[in-house]
Structure 1
């Protein structure tokens, strides 16, 4: 085989190899809560910012992630009520951010305070709840972590907690957060 034929063979071989290469798609998990082996969808996120919260460190913020059946009603830019039916998880966080949720890891704090930046306190989850009739079983967190990252205008939030019955509640949320200023 002459050198010209070897080069043509190599070109054809590389063409097949590179033609088979595709850009790998990044698979983003669905936003959901997992409890007792069952997944519950999450569709919405809000953040209530209370600003500096002495004697605690940082800003006091409340993160509320809910399913599509849960609606937050507001009047004049303030939360008036929450209604509908579905699932939700709620965290009281102490963050370095003001007006936005600060990136980093938050750890559950058992103490009575003052609470430190990077901690969360009273937090709970509800499943198949009726927010009008207030019919729900509340699963209060007693330990865990919440990790927050920012991807442009979206937040990427993961959490792994244990509720007061000793069961794990885990989850993932990616999306924007509607911020309510309660300072």
Structure 2
């Protein structure tokens, strides 16, 4: 057994056999809504050429180009993700410990409104571990075309509260 496995892990998104480096992530609190259980947090990861800026309205804007993967997660807390496994759930009301949807975009560019390079996640699990502000997140999903969508991210997540201006 190799005890150095964790040292070799890098932040990445893998779609089929194509792998992309991930460099940052955000959590956006969308509050509790529509009879769903728990708090809706958007979890989004970005590749290194995408820059994140505070939009002064509780959210963020992005610029640059690269890859993005996003999940709509339901958790018990409005400022962080609970540790555990989040499973895909495709019908509401959504339960704590699930994610309602996911999508990813390969080759995103600001101003490109095309959806030709955006794909839905239709099944899978997300594993979340947290130690203070640092997360360790593993993605094991499938997209609408049957491709494996896997990933790993270890690091802090920027937090935004979209409910603060509601």
- 2:36 aligned to which of 13, 34, 56: 56
User: In the TM superposition, what whole-angstrom CA distance separates every residue of 1:75-114 from its partner, at most 9, and x where no partner exists?
Assistant: 3263352221001100000111221111111000021x11
RMSD: 1.7
**Deviation for aligned residue 1:135:** 4.4
- 2:140 aligned to which of 157, 160, 167: 160
What are structure 1's unaligned runs of at least 5 residues? 1-23
Give me the TM-score of the superposition, normalised by structure 2: 0.88
- What is the match of residue 138 of structure 1? 118
Secondary structure of the corresponding residue to residue 81 of structure 2: coil
User: In the TM superposition, what whole-angstrom CA distance separates every residue of 1:105-134 from its partner, at most 9, and x where no partner exists?
Assistant: 1000021x1110011012101112213323
Residue 180 (str. 1) matches residue 160 (str. 2): yes
**Deviation for aligned residue 1:27:** 1.2
Give me the TM-score of the superposition, normalised by structure 1: 0.80
Q: How does 1:19-168 map to 2 (within 5 A)?
A: 27-76=7-56, 78-111=58-91, 113-135=92-114, 137-168=117-148
What are structure 2's unaligned runs of at least 5 residues? none
User: In the TM superposition, what whole-angstrom CA distance separates every residue of 1:41-92 from its partner, at most 9, and x where no partner exists?
Assistant: 0000000012222400000110010011112222326335222100110000
- Displaced runs of 4 or more, over 3 A: none
User: In the TM superposition, what whole-angstrom CA distance separates every residue of 1:135-167 from its partner, at most 9, and x where no partner exists?
Assistant: 451110110000110133211000111000011
Secondary structure of the corresponding residue to residue 27 of structure 1: helix
- What is the match of residue 170 of structure 1? 150
**How many residue pairs are counted as aligned between the two chains?**
159
